[in-house]
Amino acid sequence: MIAIAYPAILFLIIPVIAVEAAYLRLRLRTGWKNTLGAVAKANAITMLLGFPLAWLILFLLELAIWGVADWSGLLKHFERSPGSQLATLLATVISSPWLGPGTGETWPILVAFSVLLIPSFFLSAYVESVLLDRLGWLLCERPSTPSVWRANALSYIFLGLAGCALVWYQLRRF
């Protein structure tokens, strides 16, 4: 999934920075130039580290879950009920970092993309709050951590919607 999701995230980085900078500028009354620069630097760092690290963590978790499922015999139960829509959805969620051979359907890729955004959000919001608030990149006199988390929530809602649309469009072209 990293080969599918990461290009979409790279393509949308400019609007993500704009959403976060606009929100933080309005909430914290900081200067445009400083806010835009600080948010751009923080997003560059989280984009380079955050999404790949979140993907790696989920990939290791996926390996662990399927290993335990195989060891405990739960995997055989999954194999016996392949028609179950809930089992298919659960398998897609668990396998989000590394989807197996597909059926040609688009929905598993969109689900996997959305699932991967969840840990990415928490990792990015935390790192950006450290950089922008604790290290003082925003040059804001009052605490900005809650606003940074809300700005990230807005940008990840945008990223989820626009990213799914972009991935869907790219998949339809092939």
- Phi-psi domain of 83 (left: phi exceeds 0; alpha: psi -120 through 50; beta: other): alpha
pLDDT at res. 2: 81
In the prediction, which pLDDT does 92 show?
A: 82
Asked whether the whole model's pTM tops 0.95, one would answer: no
Give the pLDDT score at 65. Answer: 85
Query: So what's the pLDDT on residue 37?
Result: 96
Q: What is the pLDDT of residue 96?
A: 86
Q: How many domains does the chain have?
A: 1
- Residue 169: what pLDDT? 86
Q: Write down the pLDDT at residue 52.
A: 86
**In the chain, which residues have pLDDT < 50?**
none
Query: What's residue 34's pLDDT?
Result: 94
Q: How many other C-beta atoms can be found within 10 angstroms of the C-beta atom of residue 168? A: 15
Percentage helix, strand, coil for the chain under 3-state DSSP, each rounded to 5: 80, 0, 20
User: Which residue range forms the structural domain that includes residue 147?
Assistant: 2-173
Q: What is the pLDDT of residue 103?
A: 65
Q: How many CB atoms lie within 10 A of CB 104?
A: 6
